[in-house]
Amino acid sequence: MTRRANPGAAPGTRVAYVNARLLDPASGLDAMGALLTEGDRVVDLGPGLFAEGVPEGIGRVDCLGLPLAPGLIDMQAAIGEPGAEHKESFSSGSRAAAAGGITTLICLPNTDPPIDQAAIVEYVERRARENSLVRVQPMAAITKGCRGEEMAEMGLLTEAGAVAFTDGDRAVASARVMRRALAYSTLFGKLVIQHAEDPSLARDGQMNEGETATRLGLTGIPTAAEAIIIERDLRLVALTGARYHVALVTCAESIALIRAAKARGMAVTCGTATHYFTLNDNAVHDYRTFAKVSPPLRAEADRIAVREAVRDGTIDVIVSAHQPQDVEAKRQPFAQAAFGAAGLETMLPVALNLHHDHGMSLNEILAPMTATPARLLGLASRGQVRPGAKADLVLFDPEKPWRVDVDRLRGKSKNTPYEGMPVTGKVLMTVVDGLAVFDERPR
């Protein structure tokens, strides 16, 4: 476990969160009540707690009747360190994460240098301890240099603290290498995470292949590029019995493949980012580079399919897919602009659209951002609200309207595809290890 520059509440420090709507996706709890933390742990909660008032010597936080839930776990975020601190550092990224209710950041390994050696895992953890407000844990590369050619030392990387294996925003294109990685991962019980995009089909592509790409004169990336990799990998999972996760599912073809694999009892899971069920490829209509992401935004039918797959549980995890890019990388002709969108501060409010417009309960929306990633990554004391769990909490107002303003985003890079968009739902307080790292409650 990583520790931060701010190590959390001192042992023995007790704080009562009263008048709270307690939410816990892991148990299904949704009830008015109170919660007590001591140091960095939850020690008690329930509807009857502090019914007679909060005793002397215990700090008191009035939650104003608003939801108090487990802190979010973002299972896929790019942070610039090491090598691209001008785009995002642990310091700036953790400020943005805290403002978004994220208490644990799982960072990608395709940095410079890549996280493909035990010493670099340890370096990242040390830098995060020194500079991050929230907990940061790294995934390690499947292959050396994230080049897809030679497998990295999974055993040493696991011992150093890697929570999963992925080559980040690059697919492992070689079936032979992927089979070996899947087989080897079974020795450590770690998840292997694939960026499902066949490089030979995606090469030189700029956006989704379809009517919009044709109209704009841009080279398209077909949905087949995603489905082909997934279909191949599912056969390799059947051979090896490994735990396999598709990082970002974006289209109906992929969803059908994963749904069928789950029906056969395979250890297959998948995630998506909020922009894949909120936006479609029309967001690129005037060559908006902030909507240039990898995999690309798809057609409207695919967007709806992704949304429905989140609703029915086929998609297990919602992530920010935070990929910060500086102004010089994005303010280019579309074909030359870098891929990626900033997403830490908007993950929860955008996901809450599924509650406001599509009838999902708050616990159903929170589960893919709390309990499920904790289970998949083996983070046993996180992602839930129960006695003994880490005191990682988020207090939010699900009805608070606001408009995304790039100038107010806390990360270094402002490349959000939601610029100017009205959203409903605002984080008011974020607590990590019992200590508030973000607090904008009304006074």
CATH of the domain at 219: 3.20.20.140
Query: Which pLDDT score, from 0 to 100, does residue 12 have?
Result: 81
Query: Which pLDDT score, from 0 to 100, does residue 5 have?
Result: 60
Within a domain: 402: no
- pTM of the predicted structure, to 2 decimals: 0.96
Non-local CB neighbours of 127 within 8 Å, separated by 6+ positions: 81, 82, 90
Q: Is the peptide bond before 398 cis (omega within 30 degrees of 0)?
A: no
Within a domain: 235: yes
Inter-helix orientation angle 252-263/300-312, to 10°: 30
Query: Which pLDDT score, from 0 to 100, does residue 4 have?
Result: 52
Q: Which residues of the chain have pLDDT under 70?
A: 1-7
Query: Which pLDDT score, from 0 to 100, does residue 443 have?
Result: 80
Q: Given phi > 0 = left and psi -120 to 50 = alpha, else beta, which region is 357?
A: alpha
Query: Which pLDDT score, from 0 to 100, does residue 8 have?
Result: 77
Within a domain: 158: yes
399-428 burial, b at 16+ Cβ within 10 Å, e below that, comes to: ebeeebeeeebbbbbbbbbbbeeebbbbbb
Helix (H, G, I), strand (E, B) or coil at 174: coil
Within a domain: 180: yes
Rounded CA-CA distance 395/367 in Å is 15
Token pair 């939010």: residue: 396
Within a domain: 16: no
Domain that holds residue 197: 71-377
Q: What is the pLDDT of residues 244-293, one digit of tens each?
A: 999 999 999 999 999 999 999 999 999 999 999 999 999 999 999 999 99
* DSSP category for residue 94: H
Rounded CA-CA distance 38/338 in Å is 45
- The length of the chain is 443
Furthest-apart CA atoms within the chain: distance in Å: 68
Specify the number of domains making up the chain: 1
Within a domain: 18: no
Strand partners, 438: 430
* DSSP category for residue 286: T
Q: Given phi > 0 = left and psi -120 to 50 = alpha, else beta, which region is 133?
A: alpha
- Parallel, antiparallel or unpaired: strands 135-138 and 102-107: parallel
Within a domain: 105: yes
- Parallel, antiparallel or unpaired: strands 192-194 and 165-166: parallel
Within a domain: 123: yes
Structure tokens at 344: 């830490």
